Amino acid sequence: MAKYTMRFTQFGLTTLKEVPADAEIVSHKLMLRAGLIRRLASGLFTWMPIGLRVLRKVEAIVREEMDRAGALELLMPAVQPAELWQESGRWDKYGPLLLRMSDRHDRDFCFGPTHEEVITDVARRELRSYKQLPVNFYQIQTKFRDEIRPRFGVMRSREFIMKDAYSFDLDQAGLDESYARMHAAYTAIFERLGLTFRVVDADSGEIGGSRSQEFHVLADSGEDAIAYSDEDGFASNIETAATFPEGTRAAASEDIKKLATPGIKTIQALCEFLKIDPQQTLKTLVVEGTDCPIALVLRGDHELNAVKAQKIPGVASPLTMAAPETIVRVTGCSPGFAGPMGLDIPVFFDHATLSMSDFVCGANAADMHYTGVNFGRDIELPDSVDIRNVVAGDPTPGGNSTLSITRGIEVGHIFQLGDSYSTAMGATVQTPDGKNQVMAMGCYGIGITRIVGAAIEQSHDDAGIIWPDALAPFDVVLVPINMHRSEAVASASEALYDELQAMGLAVLFDDRNARPGVKFADAELIGIPHRLVVSERGLEAGELEYRHRRDDESRNLKREEALNLLKE
């Protein structure tokens, strides 16, 4: 085995006591403090030596499991010609996330945010016959997405490393098998990484696609909300978890009244003013449409779901809230008093609104609301649509149980693309009976860099990172006490360092001339699983002090005992 030094003094590592101001969540703070990454510019990070060791471990596990699943590794260029994106239709669709550039001949290129176009080009050139199928190509490579709000360190950066895989099959049945194989490989990967995760149904986006699931590492800081019911075996990203028309509506008991509500522009202010619950109010949101603005009406306490709303015919995608001037034009009053009655634009009511009676809503007049409003009497009973986020307690699609909500970090995404790219780009093969057929494609991503942050979100304490064994940058940290004054400690530590390395362990030898407290704090911050302390007193007793990163206390072990423990 190639041996290289892992002495602290030669590792060029600096840890920080202070928490950098722009770091919002714990993984970002700890990665900066432990010296795993350093920021270059917004959403751009350098992986420092210790951070890179962790990153490589993630990569190695992903690579092993992809190989085991029969996928073939290749490496595509990061820079891609615009022509390919024009062929697929995404040059115009992808929007500002796409980093565009041109070369010295004024030819357009982009820095790849993903590689469907390039791989489909490879496939249409290389794959001629059904005999070459199924095949699944993957790479581990740098992507760039010009995120509107890079944050959380490497979890939402602009440049990041992704494992992306693309399967090619003759037909849907083949694609189902390739997809199932990736599902199993991903499950194996996240189990080996030692992460607590959940597989959830996901939105399949704009470009075709029938089936799509995400792998989420569960953590409170996760950007995604997940709706699930273990009883019903249901789990879905809240983006796509469906709501359903509700049953009954109580009869009207109040008369409709127009009420002065001066300066009351939010649901919260309205509820305080009228001493009512948000459930008794309607909110009317005006959004941009393809032909004219569109009003979306929800119960006051519910949240609009952008992914669902932008699928309504006539609603602009991506969902865009109307500008104040537009709201004034369509409602005839300043924002804050919009209501569904008397609007001249299309109005869509969320399912949940139809079970409300005697509710309050804006009157489309400055400083005015209606109270005691009822469907069937004041508003003609409309059809309803699903445009809100589910909330805890909503029924599951089966209707047998109710949903709970938890938060997750999307670390993987598997996706049945079907024939959208292969049709657009003419990727066909010959079938057994000599016809040409477009191939069925799947794509499968894993956020390699994001996983490092997600692992820390899931496992840390006040002192620092607690790596799952599979990700730890070192197995053991060796801490000599007073090595620079004690010849006995120095020689015993050097011998131990060699012996541990010979056992195949990755050992960080803290050979700094620093106080024990400093060394212990750094070892805990970096999150190394096992710690061995060599001291003069210990040597006299033939003992080493051992502590696991998760233990509360250290214990003294005979040298042999300690080595045996590490061997296991």
Contact by Cβ (8 Å): 76, 115: yes
Q: Which does 120 bind (CB under 5 to 8 A by kind): ligand ATP, Mg ion, none?
A: none
**Region binding ligand ATP by CB under 6 A among candidate stretches 168-176, 310-318, 406-414, 534-542:** 406-414
Helices (H), 441-534: 448-458, 487-502, 516-526
Pairing of strands 234-237, 257-260: unpaired
| Burial of 103 per CB tally in 10 Å (0-12, 13-18, 19+) | exposed
Contact by Cβ (8 Å): 352, 243: yes
Q: Which two tokens stand for residue 547?
A: 């502590």
Of positions 51, 134, 339, 412, contacts ligand ATP by CB under 6 A: 412
Strand-pair partners of 557: 544
Helices (H), 193-323: 267-274, 306-309
Minimum distance from residue 58 beta carbon to Mg ion (Å): 18
Strand-pair partners of 46: 38
| Nearest C-alpha neighbor of 334 from the set 264, 422, 434, 410 | 264
CA-to-CA separations, 117 to 81, 125, 179, in angstroms, rounded? 10, 13, 19
Minimum distance from residue 402 beta carbon to ligand ATP (Å): 26
Residue number with CB closer to ligand ATP (112 or 527): 112
CA 53 to chain centre: 22
Q: Give one DSSP letter per residue of 230-243, joined into a string.
A: TTTTEEEETTT---
CA-to-CA separations, 56 to 47, 257, 466, 495, in angstroms, rounded? 11, 66, 18, 28
Instruction: Verify binding: residue 413, ligand ATP, rule CB under 6 A.
Output: yes
Number of residues that bind ligand ATP (CB under 6 A): 16
Residue number with CB closer to ligand ATP (58 or 296): 58
Instruction: Verify binding: residue 519, Mg ion, rule CB under 5 A.
Output: no
| Burial of 487 per CB tally in 10 Å (0-12, 13-18, 19+) | exposed
Number of helices and strands (H, E) in the chain? 15, 30
Strand-pair partners of 401: none
| Nearest C-alpha neighbor of 425 from the set 438, 416, 413, 414 | 438
- Per-residue x/- track, 398-417, Mg ion (CB under 5 A): ---------------x----
Minimum distance from residue 413 beta carbon to Mg ion (Å): 4
Minimum distance from residue 131 beta carbon to ligand ATP (Å): 31
Residue number with CB closer to Mg ion (104 or 149): 149
**Region binding ligand ATP by CB under 6 A among candidate stretches 127-135, 278-286, 441-449, 540-548:** 441-449
| Placement of tokens 């127009």 in the chain | 258
CA distance 455 to 47: 16
CA distance 71 to 60: 14
Contact by Cβ (8 Å): 351, 278: no
Residue number with CB closer to Mg ion (137 or 415): 415
Minimum distance from residue 185 beta carbon to Mg ion (Å): 17
Residues 365-377: b if buried by 16+ CB within 10 A, e if exposed: bbbbbbbbbbbee
Residue number with CB closer to Mg ion (209 or 516): 209
Q: Which does 378 bind (CB under 5 to 8 A by kind): ligand ATP, Mg ion, none?
A: none
Minimum distance from residue 445 beta carbon to Mg ion (Å): 7
Torsion-angle region of residue 390: left (phi > 0), alpha (psi -120 to 50) or beta? beta
Beta-carbon neighbour count of residue 498 at 10 Å? 13
Nearest to ligand ATP by Cβ — which residue?
447
CA distance 282 to 267: 8
- Per-residue x/- track, 85-124, ligand ATP (CB under 6 A): -----------------------------x----------
Nearest to Mg ion by Cβ — which residue?
413
Residue number with CB closer to ligand ATP (147 or 301): 147
Of positions 174, 418, 447, 473, contacts ligand ATP by CB under 6 A: 447
Q: Which does 549 bind (CB under 5 to 8 A by kind): ligand ATP, Mg ion, none?
A: none
Residue number with CB closer to ligand ATP (114 or 353): 114
Minimum distance from residue 70 beta carbon to Mg ion (Å): 23
Of positions 45, 111, 160, 467, contacts ligand ATP by CB under 6 A: 160
Minimum distance from residue 526 beta carbon to Mg ion (Å): 31
Instruction: Verify binding: residue 339, ligand ATP, rule CB under 6 A.
Output: no
**Region binding ligand ATP by CB under 6 A among candidate stretches 156-164, 292-300, 321-329, 344-352:** 156-164
413-442 binders of Mg ion (CB under 5 A): 413
Residue number with CB closer to ligand ATP (157 or 240): 157
Residue number with CB closer to Mg ion (38 or 93): 93
Minimum distance from residue 151 beta carbon to ligand ATP (Å): 10
**Region binding ligand ATP by CB under 6 A among candidate stretches 64-72, 257-265, 419-427, 444-452:** 444-452
* Contacts for 429-437: CB closer than 8 Å, 24+ residues apart: 429/127, 429/128, 429/129, 429/130, 429/132, 429/133, 429/170, 430/128, 430/129, 430/130, 431/130, 431/170, 432/130, 437/130, 437/170, 437/171
CA distance 175 to 259: 59
Of positions 213, 229, 420, 449, contacts ligand ATP by CB under 6 A: 449
CA distance 418 to 426: 13
Phi, psi of 217 (to 5 degrees): -80, 125
Residue number with CB closer to Mg ion (239 or 545): 239
Minimum distance from residue 478 beta carbon to Mg ion (Å): 42
Minimum distance from residue 214 beta carbon to ligand ATP (Å): 7
Residue number with CB closer to Mg ion (241 or 297): 241
Binding residues for Mg ion, per CB under 5 A? 413
Which residues form the interface with ligand ATP (CB under 6 A)? 114, 145, 147, 155-157, 160, 162, 410-413, 445, 447, 449-450
